[in-house]
Structure formats: C-alpha cells, structure tokens
Structure 1
Amino acid sequence: FGEHFSRWISQLPDWVHVDLDGELQTLTASAVSGSVRLEAQEVDRDWFDLRVVVDVQETFLTPEEIQILLKARGALTRLEGKGWRRLRFDVSEAEDQQMARIGLNPADLDDAPQRLHVLQLADPAAERFLPAEQVALVRRRAEELQARVTPDVPAGISAPLRPYQVEGFHFLAYLSANRFGGILADDMGLGKTLQTLSWILWLRGRSPEEAGRPSLVVCPKSVMENWRSEAAKFAPALRVRVMSSGESVFENVGAADLHVMNYAHLRLLGDRLTEVRWLAVILDEGQFIKNPDSQSAVAARGLPADHRLVLTGTPIENRLMDLWSLMAFAMPGMLPSRGRFGRLYNAQRDPLARRRLSARVRPFLLRRTKGQVARDLPEKIEETILCELEGEQKLLYNAEFKRGQQLLLNLKTQKQLAKEQFQFLSSLLRLRQICCSPKLVNPATPEQGAKLEGLLELLESLLEEGHKVLVFSQFVSMLELIRSALEEQGLSPYYLTGETEDRGTLVDRFQADPNPGVFLISLRAGGFGLNLTSASYVVLFDPWWNPAVEAQAIDRTHRIGQQSTVVAYRFLIKGSVEEKMRELQRSKSSLAEQVLGEEKFSQSLTLEDLRFLYS
C-alpha cells in the first residue's frame, strides 16, 4: 500500500491538496538518511562475508527498526507506532563509483551478507568503507596469494605460443595455483584450445599424483574431433580419447589423459560421471550451460574436479544473467543466489550494473578480443573443423563409397578411366553432397547433417560475440538449407548466388550494416569481385578442388581496408573424400594449378589419385 499511495500522491497536480491524518502523514515524509560502513568477516581461507552497517541520524529509531528498513532495500515499510519510513543511503556519486569497483550497489544493500573474495576486497575502493584493522587483514591475505604465476610453457607443447597466449596460459596457472576456477573468454580463433592444452600439461607435470589422473573436456559434438587433432598437433604426448555413441567413459578411464565428450553425453551419463575424480573439467563453448536449470548445467555443476575452466567467446557484457550459470560451475558460491543476482545486476535499473559485475568476476575471467592482441596476430588464420558422420548420413556415404570402390576394381589403365570419367565424377559429387548434408541427396530425411549442426553452433557463438561472417559453399542447394535453418532461428542472412541481381547494392548494405550478421555466398558467384571487409570471419563449408578458388573466397574480406585479423574455418568430414581432397591439394601442387573446376578435373585426375580418394 505504502509504495502505491506514495507514487499516486507524488503524481497529483500542484493545485490538488490532500490532507492526511495520523500515520498517513508519514507517507510524504523525507526518507531516513543513513551513511554506509562495511564490515568484513573471514569465513574461509581468502573468502569474506561482507555486512552492511548503517549509521542514521534519527535517534528515535531502534537498531532493530534500522535493520527492518535495511532489509526493505529502500521500500516504504510500516514501523509500529512510528508510521511509514524508508531508508536512503547518503552516498555521493564518487562513493557510488567506488562501490561499483568492488561490485556493490547501494540501492540493493540489505542485512544479508555478501561473500567476496579477498582479491575483490583488495581493491583500494574498499578501504573507504572498511575499518582499518579489516583493511590490514585483507591486505595480508591478498599478499599471500600467488598473484604472479608465470611458469615456462611445458616442453610437451610442440608449437610456439604467441605472447598473448603465454599470458593466457599464465592466467590459467594463476587460477590453479590459488585454487580458483575461471573463464577464458577470448574471441573465436585466438587459440583457447592451445592455451588449455598447455595448462593441462602443466597441471600434469606438477606431481606424480596429478600426472596419473584424467581430465575431461565437454564440448559441442561438432568440435570433438578438433580436440583430438589439436592435441595431436600441439601436445602429441597427451593421450586423448574421444567418446563415441554407445561407448562408456568408465571403460579403462585411466587409458587416456584427456577424455572428450559432448553435452548430450553429459546429460545422459549425469551422476555416473561423479564416480571419477577428475584432475580438470573444461567446458568448451560454455554458453551451452547458460540456462542454470538445464540438465547440462546441473550435471556440469555436479562433476568432481580439482580444477574447473569454462571456454567461451561470448563477452559478459552481452548477457549478464547467463554469466551466473557459468560462474556457478567455475566458482560455486562466488556470486550471490540467482534471484539476488538478478536484482543486483539489473542493467535497465542500474547504469553501473555491468561495472559492478565486472568487478566481482575480474579475478576469475580473462577476455581478449582480436583487436586487443592484433600486434601478436598474423593477418590471416586458417583452421579446420572436423565433423563425424552419424546416422543416415553415414549410411548414405558408406553406400555411395562402396559403389565407387566397385567401379574402381574394374579399372586397370588411365585409358579405361577416361571412358568411365563421368561415372566417377558423379560418384565423387554425390559423396561431397552427402558430406554437406544428407538432405542434398534425400530431401525427405529429417537429419541436418554433422556439418550443418556444427556450422549453426559456430555461427551462434560468432554472432553473440558481435561479428560478421561470410559462409561459402559451391552448392546453391546447400546455401538454401543453411538459409532455412538460420531463418528458423529468427535470423535474416544476406544471400548471394549467380541468380542474384544488383549485387553491388546487396554488398553495400552488408558493409554498412552495424549489426552482426551472416552472408551466404555461392563460391562460383562470389569468389571474386566482391569487397566485404566489414566481416572478419569466413567459413568454407565444403572444399573446392582448386585451393586458389578457396583463397579468392577468403580474400573477399582479407584485403585492403580490413582492420582485423581474418579467421577462416574449413568444415570437413573426418576420414572422408573431403579430407583426402585437402591432402591431394597439398601433395599435388601441379593438379591444383591445372584444375580450375570440376569440368576440368578429369583431365588431371590419375588412376593413382582416384585410388587414393577411394582408399
């Protein structure tokens, strides 16, 4: 009643006079003014409960009544025999800014304690509100922390780390040295996997006990193979096991140093994963647990591990509430309860909400954008994302592959091959289409295919980071499938094929659009003559016989006027004709120079090449 009445009477025009009797008069009285002090009580090693102490000038209020007003968080409250009262903190703008630096909001202070880490209280801004003896205690505890942890990159890492990647590895080592969990939130393409592999090797090298314990990576299905390939490339001594459907992680768990599973496995196995005490648990693409009530989030929080790490490219500024779930996994109890978190960090109500939240998570989160580390980056980064066939897509591929092998058995000479070239080109085309999506050869199938699922996951991450992305495919029908899938998610991608008219206007719109977006482009129609420098990410959805054509596609954005490092992703099906095409490109440079497209492919393809493709 008090709040509604107070709001109503404040909106009356000046010429309306209202007489109030008794306690109703207090509804228009000035708020009780109070100054703020804080008291910190150490409740665990490096953790403090912060309580609010309010000093008020009004001597007619008892300490109990002050606590009642404090609990009301600024709302009108009826006090027995003293009418309606509300508490207003006497906080200057400078003090508000100082409180924001330690993650507090005066408008939401109440009698409930807030748990803060010593690194948060060690900010000089906290000294203004804490007693001197407690400031001294906080300083001692902060000095005891290992703030500078700078170990050498493990000898087992076979590639040099860029300077910012060394800093990232040191950040992860600092987390572990202080018993923290945390979040590595670098932009896509900056090498979070390499930094994490370096950290895992460092953890395993600290003691024989740790060297004997396995670690677990949970990631989207589309990047499971990427973990295996990146480990083989950068940490070859690390034994990696990628879990497949129907396989049990508990069979010979000690036979691998790093187990990789997807979020569906995590949901299905649930509590059974708690039977293993993991050295480290890493959630790759951590936004998959952004809903704290989801099965994945609940299962992840229950995993027993000495060290916890979230990898994500999504900055905290975009979705304040989602961060709660990530931190509930990485650092349980570091943030307040979910309901309280929503009140404390309401960006619409509090313009300093992001700053307050950043202050709370700063010691546990590291984020670098491409722009921030540009001096350490090459102009162009190319990465391969390997996907694995499953279900109907795998059955279709195997059937067509066996048909091609049967044709090959009857060939003995190059002359025979020339007569059967159309058959083989048709078979190779179908294999490549199946790799893109089973819908290209069987439109009735409900399966999207491994690569399309992986692309949608990648685009979600890139768009959340605020980036623009070019997606190239040689199959217009595949671009249609991608466009339909994006439209089902409420997105409106740009679209360019050989049938597109007024290409210049379309390109200008994409270039001028300030929002993140996706441009779907036919490799033949858009591989040259376009300037698309507003995008800095490129996806080659399917391989082309001639690598020069792929390079031209990447160069649509990697050209004069580009201010950012360009990251190009190639999607390939593991162990398929696509992967062998890439090997053929590298091993037969003369073929790459001669073959300009499928129409000339048969002129350069040898019987030996064909046997390799169908091996």
Structure 2
Amino acid sequence: MAESDSAVSVSRADLVDAGQDLAISPAGRVFLGSASGRTDAPTVTTRIAKAFARSGAHGLLQLGALELGSPLPPALAFGREFAHLFMARFTSVAALPEQWATLVLPVPSTELQELATAVPPMTGAEYLNAAVLASWWEDLHEAVREDVAASGGDIDAWLRSKHPSWNLVGRVCFHLAENKGNAQAPFAFLATCASHVSKDARVQHVPLGRALQGYSDAQDRAGMLKLLLPVHKAAEQTPWLKAQLDAGKLFHPQAWAPPEAYQFLRNVPVFEASGLVVRIPDWWKPRHPPRPQVRVNLGKKASGLGLDTMLDFEVELTLDGEPLSHAEWNQLVSASDGLVRLKGRWVEVDRAKLDAVLAHWKKVQRSAERDGVSWSDGMRLLSGAALDGEAAAELAQTTAEWSTVVAGDWLHKTLAQLREPGDGPDPHPELKAQLRPYQRQGVHWLWWLNRLRLGGCLADDMGLGKTVQLLGLFSLLKRERDPGPHLLVVPASLIANWQAEAARFAPHLRMLVAHPSAIPSRELAAFCVQRLEGVDIVVTSYASTVRLPWLAEVQWSLIVLDEAQAIKNPGAQQTRKIKALKSRVRIALTGTPVENRLGDLWSLFDFICPGLLGSATTFNRFVRRLADNAHVDYAPLRRLVQPYILRRLKSDKRVIADLPDKTEVKAYCALSRLQASLYQQAVEALAMQIETLDGIARRGVVLAFLMRFKQICNHPSQWLGDGAYRPQDSGKFARLRELTEAVALRQEKVLVFTQFQEMTAPLSEFLQGVFGRPGLLLHGGTAVKERAALVQAFQSEQGPPFFVLSLKAGGTGLNLTAASHVVHFDRWWNPAVENQATDRAYRIGQRRNVLVHKFVCRGTVEEKIDALVEAKLGLSEQIIEGGGQALLTELSNDELLRMVTLDIDSALGEGKTG
C-alpha cells in the first residue's frame, strides 16, 4: 500500500507536528510546546511566545484577544477559540468601567463541554476535559483583572490595547423579543445603550436614539462616535444593518415580521464580534438554531457480528426528536425560507438545504435497502466523520446542520456497553489475582469486544495492569471453550515479563513462547503448526513475525499486540506482516496516548478495525479538511474512535483512589551480542582463576568478577573504559529507551538510579536524546550546596523531565515527589538500599502513583540473584559485602559458576537469529 504510506507521513508532518504548539501538562495547565514556530509570520510566533512566557492564561489571552486574524495551526487555533469565547462573554457583561473589578463571569459549562470533545491532536490532549477548561476560564478571569489593574483600571483603555474588535464592547445593546400579540409582526426590536448603574448594581438601559440625543445636546461629538463605532463596524459587514442605519430605523423601536427577525438572528455572530451586546430569545442558539431535521436511524436490530455486521437504515423528518406528520411536512413545503412557526415554536427553514439533505439520505437508503449499511460506514455516519470522497465532503457541512444520525435500539445498547461496560463474567477462580474495580471493567470491556467480534485498544496508563486484564480475558475465553489458539505479540524485552505474570496469575493457561530465547532458531523456523494443539497462547516478538512465516498459516482466535505503538509506521515490513495475520478479533495494548497523533491513529485502527478510518489516502484528505476548517472541530473523529479505545489515567480520581501507593515491576533486558561475548569471556576467565585460588585471594577475584558482570550488563563501555557508550551496544539502554519514550509522551518525570558514578553522565546524555531536552545529574562529586537547587528545579512542573542519580549520593536526604517513575538501572542486590532510593519519589507529599522499574538482564547472574532475593533465600541483605551473611564468595566453584553462567538463548533474545 505504497500510496497510503506516503499519505500518512504527509499528514503527520503537515498537521500533527504543527499541532504541537499548544500543549497541556498532566496537571491540566496550558503551555507553549517546542514547535511554536509553525505559523506564517515570525512576528506572530514572537508575540505568542512572549505572552506564554508570562503564564498560560496570558498566552491564551493573547490568542483570543489579539491574534484574531493570524493564521494558526489547529492546536493554537483551539486555544484561540476558547479564549475568544471568554472575551466575548467578558466584554458583553463588562459594560461599564465601574463594574469590572467585582464582575463574576459564570463558567459556560455546555460550551466548554463541546470544546473539550472537539480538541485537536496535541501534546497532553488526553488530560483535557470540561473541568480543565473551567480552570482555564478562572485563570483567564484573573489574568484580565491583573492586566486591567496594571493599566490603571480603565477597561476601555485595556480593550483598545488588545484589538479594535473589543473596543467599546458592551455599550450598545440590540434586543429582540417575541411580540405574541401581533400575528403580522410577531417580533419587537429595540437598540439601547447602558446609561448608569442602579443602587442595586444593575445596568440601566435607555433607547439608543435618546442616548444619541443626549450626546448631541451636550455637543459631545467624540462621545457619540465612540458609542456608535461598534454599530458602524457591524454595518460594514452586514448590508441589512447598514440599510437600517442609513434609514435611521435603528434608533427607534420596531415591530418585525419573521423575515426581518430572521435577518437579524443570522447576523448575531457578526454583531457580537463587532463589539455589540445582543439579547435574543433563549430558543435561538446562533451555532445551533432550531431546525427540522432529517433523522437517520441505524441498527434497530442486530444483523451479524463484527466488522461484517450490516445495519438496518431508516430515514424520517423530525423536530426536537419527534417525527413530523405529513401535514406538518406540507406546512414546511408551503412556507417561505426563514423563520416558520411549527409545533408551536419558531424554527429555521432553508428548503433548498433541507431538500438536498433529504435527497442525499434517501439515496443512501435506497442503496442500503438490500443488505443494509456496513458497520464501518454506519459508525462514520453516526460520528459525523465524513471520510468518503470529495462529493460527500462538500455536502458534509449542510448534512451536519440539517440532519442527525442516531443509533437504533440494538446499536445504542451495543455502543453503551462499549463506552461503559457493566457487569460481566468473573475470571475468578482461574485468575489468581484480586482485580481492582477499573480492572474488572477493563476485563468486561475486552470480553464484550470479543463477543461482538470487534477490535479495540486498551490504552491504560503504564502501571494500571493491562497485562492482568488481558490474562483475565484469556481465562474467560478458556472457560468458555474458545478454540484458540491466541497470538500475543510483544517486544522481545517483555517476553519474560509476560511469562512471569502468566505463571503468577494464570498458571492454568498453556503458553508457548515462539522465540529464540525459548526455542532454538532452527527448530523455531521449522515449527509444525500441529504442535499448537492444546496451546492457549503463543507468545512471540514483533521481529519474529517477520522471521516465522508459519505464523501467517494459523487462523488465530485472538491477536493481541502489546506496546502496539510498534506498528505506528504502516510502511514497515513488520507492520505489514502483522496486519496480514488471520484472526477473528484483534486487540492492541499501549500505555501511550493514541488519539493525539493522527498518522499513528490510522495505522493502529487499520489493525484493530480495518476500514473504519478508510484508506490512508482517504483519511489524509479528511484530516486536511479538518485542518482547513475555520472552526477546528475534531469531535467527529474522536466520536468515531472512542468506542474502541479504553483509556484510564492515573490522574483520574476514580482510578488513583484505588491504586497502591507504589507498584514494583521487573524490566527484563536482553544482551547485545557484544555484551554476550564479553560476559562469556568473563565467565571463562573466572573459571580458570578460581581453580588455583583460595581464601582472601579467591574472595577478591570473585568480587572483582561480579563487579565486571554488572558493568558488562550495564554497558560494554563501562567495563572496557573506552568512553563510547553506543546505545545499540546495551540491552539496558534499549529497554530504557522503550520505557522513557512512553514517559516522555505522557509528560511524566523519572528518576534513574545507578550505583556507578561513571554511568551517570552516559545515562544523562542518552536520556537527553530521548526527551529532547536536558535533565539533571547528581553523584558523589556534586557539591552539597547545589543539591537544593537541583531538587527545586526537578520539582517544578515545567522543570527537567529526568534526574540521574548515583545510588549512594541520591539515595537519602532528597525529596523528589515530582517523579512518577523510578528506574533502578543496575541492582544493588540489597532491597533495603533500593527501597531507600525509591522513597525519594514515594514519600510524604507524593500525590501520584509511583511505578518502580527494576532492570534485570536475562540469562545472567542478575536474573539468578534477583530470583534468590525474591525467594528470600538468605540474600535479602547485602550479598556482596557484609558480616556473616552467606556471601557469594563462599559458594563452591561449581555453585558459583552455575550462578554466573550465561544462558545464551535467554540473554540474546532478538540478537540470536536463525
């Protein structure tokens, strides 16, 4: 699919990268990201950056009050739309300078909810909701108070300093009301201006004509021009208002027929943008006026399962959700365009648009009469995401305004189950884990997806237990006698983690590891599919899907991808091989946000729900149309993908209240070929030397070699002393990259501990490349007086994202609660020392769950000692040093060599080829 590959890359470069300008922190604060130069005019970039340097609120104020005509990428345009809404509301009620200081501006909850669902892809979009926008609203209010006070309290002067559109807003008010006593002229209009504030603090209005007469009597020409300036601004854009102004009608009360009232209502947004206050009946919403709608009902009854499901299709005319009778439809047909009285209320009618939309849906209905509408087409119709071709795009806006697509009974119930999975079967007693409430919900959601034969993405934050939730699903499927086998594709570094978790929580599941670390490469390449009889789960790595052609011969019941961001590049051979595998249902697991990078989103859904987002070329056109839209609205796309993504954040109060304070996980690492070679040489050298030594000399040699093994497992350059530290030479560096890339995407912070001072600088340099900005470093050579400044920098929200510490220097006396992750890059082999270091992040003042990652190289002495420590076999204290403990130096030669011998297949992992 060469065409689709390039299409997605163009989308990423042109849209997603540009959308990184505005960003949201995990705490919900808004700031300017690193790609802030993606605008047409450098002066715009400078102005915006300067404002955001003051605060997020001042940056938003810059966007919404000053940058009204500047071309902006989608994320900044979203910020402008939010702040513009604030400015319009603020200036419409701050009519008089005397009021601004005590003004209380209500939070527009409905509008903020709509904005939250329409957020474009941007860094941190997963943290945005109506509550976050409400906090921005309060911050904007405070920023305005601060700015007006700094300008001497003159709100007019402050508005003039922002943008001409805000000049004198709130002085002139247009009022439209119903006049029910006059059938010929059922509307009344009056233009007023605010004259004074009453004793009870209410703004008093006088007719505009009388106000102008007052200015005339006082010969205050400047005051008159100042008052009328917003009116003239609006008249320049509205021929109807200009005619009213030229004829002098505007200055007198008027009785209007429906056509005149309709002209007025259509131009309300122009009036408000020009600085006029508008008061209208509450049944008219400028962005969503009352209209008769063509309603499309999809999926009243079930017809099949999975992506092959066909949905029934029905078209009818409605008003407020109630079907129109034949007589009421005839009334609409015979009425003129504009405002029409229907079912006792005024509604907008545009017969040409209504007829076009009705004809469009009737055409769709005719084509669907035989087989129905496909699941993918139905989901796109329901979400309003028009992905199909240019012709549909031209009609899309009109269709969205004059029609609505609703889910029928069966489809509504199905989607409700996906969005809020209720009670389902309990994976106990087979699953030996006590699931938390959100984890039970995740198992039920996965089980429901499987029953419907639909794919999905479990995108919980790292540390929330995606593994145990999937094991719960596997347990339910085995109980229900699902024929299997299931295929689990994971990064090679996570195979050991899955083996350990399955053995711990689901020992009843028969798992086969199809990987060189478990089966010799030649045997694996010649594997006979018949050997899968009785196997529940086959675990393999991403790279093995390319090397093992027999995987494509199996009809898998379920295919699961862990760390599914591995298929974000649709052109990669690995991605194409995986998407070609045959399965009934496909599930993706990832801890990184998936809705905020559109190219990655398409590739992921091309796996879990092929066809839902169309071809890459079609999706790219759709994204470009979104970007070119004056009103940035990604709500249809988010509605389209939302049922297939279950994402819970550790910051969610409903989740964090149910989490342990600290979660410890093993991060198993492979060795590079260079590491394996050096390690094996060290084992052979140790075997030769201990044959001829005893006593203190033998102990010294053993300690030296144990230190050498640790150094080689960290990085060959640490042992060789060559200073190179190439990332590709260390399996731990590869694992650290996988982990911290996910941390960086979520804007979280990490502490990395090593017991070796010489490792701190290479680790810091490596992590700077991952995070794209420098971090902090502390070791025994760091001056004591510098430590407080380092801690303060790390603790600030926008401070450095990582802190590399030597274990002895950083293990005590520091309070680093900004970190959500702790990495023990190498093991001290003393739980007390490691826990003391971990407690730099997990301690009093911590408000977030801490995830502790303990790195262990597979097939090496690290793995064997870790197993002994876990088993509490006398090694829970210091192993290498200390008192009368059972030291490794006192093991017999055979015991010692068994402890350090390299399991080459397990250690090399992906490094061992066929």
Q: Is 1:365 paired with 2:365?
A: no
Alignment of 1:272-421 (within 5 A): 272-345=550-623, 353-372=633-652, 373-410=655-692, 416-421=694-699
Deviation per CA, 1:389-424: give whole Å up to 9, x if none: 35222122122123323444456xxxx332322211
Q: Is 1:174 paired with 2:448?
A: yes
Once residues 463 and 890 of structure 2 are traced to their aligned partners in structure 1, the CA distance between those partners, rounded to angstroms, is 38
Tell me the equivalent position of 2:278. none
Alignment of 1:535-550 (within 5 A): 535-550=819-834
For the 8 Å contact 2:794–2:800, the answer to whether it is kept is no
Tell me the equivalent position of 1:224. 495
In the superposition, relative to structure 1, how do residues 381 and 61 fare at CA in structure 2: closer, same or farther (>3 Å)? closer
Match of 1:358, SS state, is helix
User: Offset of 1:566 from its aligned partner?
Assistant: 1.0
State which structure, 1 or 2, has the greater radius of gyration over its C-alpha atoms: 2
Once residues 304 and 518 of structure 1 are traced to their aligned partners in structure 2, the CA distance between those partners, rounded to angstroms, is 42
Tell me the equivalent position of 1:261. 540
Match of 1:187, SS state, is coil
User: Offset of 1:285 from its aligned partner?
Assistant: 0.5
| Residue 465 (structure 2) aligned to one of 191, 208, 229 | 191
For the 8 Å contact 1:215–1:280, the answer to whether it is kept is yes
Tell me how large the CA RMSD over aligned residues is. Answer: 4.2
User: Offset of 1:567 from its aligned partner?
Assistant: 0.9
Q: Is 1:237 paired with 2:508?
A: yes
| Residue 466 (structure 1) aligned to one of 718, 741, 747 | 747
Deviation per CA, 1:299-351: give whole Å up to 9, x if none: 22211111211000112343233212111111112223334434545676566
Match of 1:460, SS state, is helix
Structure ranking higher in helix proportion? 2
Q: Is 1:607 paired with 2:890?
A: yes
Once residues 566 and 634 of structure 2 are traced to their aligned partners in structure 1, the CA distance between those partners, rounded to angstroms, is 22
For the 8 Å contact 1:327–1:334, the answer to whether it is kept is yes
Once residues 558 and 354 of structure 2 are traced to their aligned partners in structure 1, the CA distance between those partners, rounded to angstroms, is 53
User: Offset of 1:480 from its aligned partner?
Assistant: 3.1
User: Offset of 1:569 from its aligned partner?
Assistant: 0.7
Q: Is 1:560 paired with 2:844?
A: yes
In the superposition, relative to structure 1, how do residues 174 and 144 fare at CA in structure 2: closer, same or farther (>3 Å)? closer
Tell me the equivalent position of 2:712. 434
Deviation per CA, 1:567-592: give whole Å up to 9, x if none: 10101012321123324445668765
Deviates more, 1:516-525 or 1:190-199: 516-525
For the 8 Å contact 1:216–1:280, the answer to whether it is kept is yes
| Residue 572 (structure 1) aligned to one of 856, 859, 870 | 856
Deviation per CA, 1:28-63: give whole Å up to 9, x if none: xx99x999746467796354789999x994769996
Tell me the equivalent position of 2:760. 479
Q: Is 1:45 paired with 2:309?
A: yes
Tell me the equivalent position of 1:80. none
Once residues 249 and 436 of structure 1 are traced to their aligned partners in structure 2, the CA distance between those partners, rounded to angstroms, is 34
Tell me the equivalent position of 1:4. none
For the 8 Å contact 1:577–1:614, the answer to whether it is kept is no
Once residues 550 and 436 of structure 1 are traced to their aligned partners in structure 2, the CA distance between those partners, rounded to angstroms, is 17
For the 8 Å contact 1:280–1:307, the answer to whether it is kept is yes
Provide the identity percentage: 37
Once residues 404 and 886 of structure 2 are traced to their aligned partners in structure 1, the CA distance between those partners, rounded to angstroms, is 81
User: Offset of 1:358 from its aligned partner?
Assistant: 2.7
For the 8 Å contact 2:490–2:563, the answer to whether it is kept is yes
Once residues 696 and 872 of structure 2 are traced to their aligned partners in structure 1, the CA distance between those partners, rounded to angstroms, is 20
Tell me the equivalent position of 1:494. 776
TM-score, normalised to structure 1, is 0.76
For the 8 Å contact 2:436–2:658, the answer to whether it is kept is yes
In the superposition, relative to structure 1, how do residues 299 and 445 fare at CA in structure 2: closer, same or farther (>3 Å)? same
Match of 2:525, SS state, is coil
For the 8 Å contact 2:829–2:878, the answer to whether it is kept is no
Deviation per CA, 1:222-247: give whole Å up to 9, x if none: 11211111111111122223233433
Match of 1:376, SS state, is coil
Once residues 204 and 589 of structure 1 are traced to their aligned partners in structure 2, the CA distance between those partners, rounded to angstroms, is 36
Match of 2:392, SS state, is coil
In the superposition, relative to structure 1, how do residues 145 and 504 fare at CA in structure 2: closer, same or farther (>3 Å)? closer
Unaligned runs of 5+ in 2: 1-68, 70-232, 237-265, 268-288, 318-336, 338-348, 361-378, 395-399, 899-914
TM-score, normalised to structure 2, is 0.52
Tell me the equivalent position of 1:517. 801
Tell me the equivalent position of 2:78. none
Once residues 434 and 684 of structure 2 are traced to their aligned partners in structure 1, the CA distance between those partners, rounded to angstroms, is 42
For the 8 Å contact 1:468–1:535, the answer to whether it is kept is yes
Once residues 569 and 546 of structure 1 are traced to their aligned partners in structure 2, the CA distance between those partners, rounded to angstroms, is 15
Once residues 584 and 806 of structure 2 are traced to their aligned partners in structure 1, the CA distance between those partners, rounded to angstroms, is 48
In the superposition, relative to structure 1, how do residues 560 and 50 fare at CA in structure 2: closer, same or farther (>3 Å)? farther
Q: Number of matched residues?
A: 534
| Residue 139 (structure 1) aligned to one of 409, 414, 428 | 409
Match of 2:587, SS state, is strand
For the 8 Å contact 2:748–2:819, the answer to whether it is kept is yes
User: Offset of 1:439 from its aligned partner?
Assistant: 2.7
Unaligned runs of 5+ in 1: 1-6, 8-13, 18-29, 68-98, 115-125
Once residues 139 and 422 of structure 1 are traced to their aligned partners in structure 2, the CA distance between those partners, rounded to angstroms, is 76
